[in-house]
Each structure stands twice: as structure tokens, then as C-alpha cells.
Amino acid sequence: MNDKFYLGSHVGMNAKGKYLIGSAQEAIDNGANTLMFFTGAPQNTIRTETNKLNIKEFKELLKNNNIDITKTLCHGPYTINLANTVKKETYELGVRLLKEELLRLEAIGVHLVVLHPGAAVGAERKVALDSVAKGLNEVYDQLPNCPVKIALETMSGKGTEVCITFEEIKYVLNQVKRKEMVGVCFDTCHMHDAGYDIKNNFDNVVDDFDKLIGLDKLLAIHLNDSKNIINGHKDRHENIGYGYIGFKSLSNIVHNPLFKEIPIILETPWINGVTSPYKKEIEMLKENKFVNNFGMDIITD
């Protein structure tokens, strides 16, 4: 692969695929040089012990295929909602799960996890944002030597989600005590759905982020097209080149020298729910040329 960028996708991690061995092999088969995985089912708290995940073999497979483990990442479970101040037990569960996730990733050797900041579920936004920062501080207070960083994901504004603007993310980051451990993950679909013009003015969006937060805080990018018009607040991912952002704008992100050290991860839908699109999407993006591999309608406006 072109060594000017790190490009991969979300991959599976389960017993059938020999856990992390399957994750690495899926990335390799897709022509990727980075990957993102869940350490267990994202919607529950059940986790396989790390000593069963084939960590040694995972690391060897990555090394033998020139995949830098320092550019790989994990996605935190959706069950974590640090923004929830309405239900104390939900917040406390989130802190516990996030702490456990960081310890699991430390054992695996992957030192970055992307986290959905959560939803206010009835509370004032400022209260919810304060709660996110409080949760992050609690976790790192309990794990002062943990090397795993957290990247807060930019959200679309669906429901009562928080961190849908750079200002909200900055508000949280300003309260984080271990500032070197917490950064940001751009999600292009979410940002588009939140109202940021990824399609026509991404340079200006990046400029605004740099001035407000700093590009040094950008730790990962989720590269997704969107099924919705800008500012739709829907969060419905589309395959690369078939949505309202379009291939050219998304490919330009991959090839932008600003992001050459940032892992870029595809989270696009499987075709008809059964066929992975990632090998073909990675190939298109590497070649910087759109091909209608999936025979779907292309949005032209």
C-alpha cells in the first residue's frame, strides 16, 4: 500500500475467526495497513479473557505484514454513556467499562480507543458535557500509568448526543486533567450530518478545528459517506461515493498530507447486509479513482 497514509476498516473479532488472528487477517485480505475492532460485542458487557485472544500471534501477523500496531485502534462499546447524569448507575457502569476496556487494550498492545461521548438523555447539555469530562478524569485517576489514549468521536446530533460541535468537544477537553491522553476522532458522516461542510469546504473545517482545538489532538478518522443531506442529524452511513459527501471529497481526505500519520478507518455498510465493501473501497481510495463496484445509485448533487 501507498505508505503516505494509513487506511483500513472496522474488522471482526470473534471465536470463529480465532479472535485477534481473524481481525488481522481480515485487514490483510482487504489490502489495509491499519484496522479497528471491538474487544467484544458493542451492545453488551460480555468479554472474552484477553489470554484467549491470541495476542502474540496477532502481533506477529501484523509485523509480518508491515502493519504498525501503533496505528491500530479499538472502538469502545456503545454501552458506555459518560454523559448520562439522569441515571447514576448508567454513568457508573460507563466508568467501569471504560476502565476495563483500557486495561484490555493495554494487555493487547493497542493504545488507542475511540469513544462515543454519549447522550444527555434529559439533562442540560452543559451538565452532560461536564459528566463526560468527569468520567474521563475518574478513569485516568484510577489508571495513572495506562498508555491507552481515548479519542472522543464527533457526533451527528441524533437524539440528545453531545460533542456534535468542536466547541462542545473543546469544553470537555479543557476539563480533562490528563490532557495528553484524550483527543478526537473525526467521523465524516457524523460531521456532515452535524452541519460541517465536508463535501465543499473541508479545508475550512480543519482550519476551524485547528484554531479551536489543535490538529495535534486529532488521533483518528472514521471515513464514511452519508445517506443524508448536510445538517440532517441522522447518523446513517453510506458507502464511499454513493452518499451526499461523495467520493472526491472523501478520497481527498485520505490523500491529504496533513493526515498521513492518522489512522483512517472505513465503517461503511455491508452491501445488502451480507458482502463486505472494504477491499474494493480501500482499492478505490488507494487509486484515487471511483468505480461503481456495487451497482447502486450515485447521488450527483
Q: Is 34 helix (H, G, I), strand (E, B) or coil?
A: strand
Residue 125, C-alpha cell as written in the block: 447539555
222 is in an annotated binding site: yes
The answer on whether 267 is annotated among ligand-binding residues is yes
Distance CA 153, CA 219 (A): 10
Is 235 assigned to a binding site?
Answer: yes
- 187 marked ligand binding residue: yes
Cell of 135: 468520567
75 appears as a binding residue in the annotation: yes
190 marked as binding residue: yes
How far apart CA 148 and CA 135 sit, in angstroms, is 15
User: Following CA atoms 155, 71, 96, 132 in sequence, which dihedral angle do they give, to the nearest 10 degrees?
Assistant: -30
The DSSP H or E segment spanning 242 is: none
Burial (CB count <10 Å: 0-12, 13-18, 19+), residue 285? buried
Annotated binding site for Zn(2+): 75, 116, 153, 187, 190, 222, 235, 237, 267
Annotated binding site: 75, 116, 153, 187, 190, 222, 235, 237, 267
